[in-house]
Amino acid sequence: MFYSFSMNRDRIQSDVLNKAAEVISDIGNKVGDYLGDDYKSLAREIADDVKISRGNYP
């Protein structure tokens, strides 16, 4: 199905941000096993911020 450029761009940006958040969270969990729960918490917070932003840049 054909979508307009802006719809495709928005969908792709959303997909990229969601995937980045997943990667950050996953890495945070794995590295957190070595560095502790503080690192896991920080990585989770960053991942949540990425998900929330959804490309809404100032």
pLDDT in tens, the chain (58 residues): 566 777 788 888 888 888 888 888 888 888 878 788 788 788 888 888 887 776 554 4
The Cα 46–Cα 56 span in angstroms is: 15
The pLDDT assigned to 22 comes to: 87
Distances (CA, A) of 16 to 20, 33, 35, 36: 6, 26, 27, 28
The DSSP output letter for 8 is: H
H or E, element range at 41 = helix 37-53
Q: For residue 19, what are its two tokens?
A: 């995937």
Per the document, the length of the chain is 58
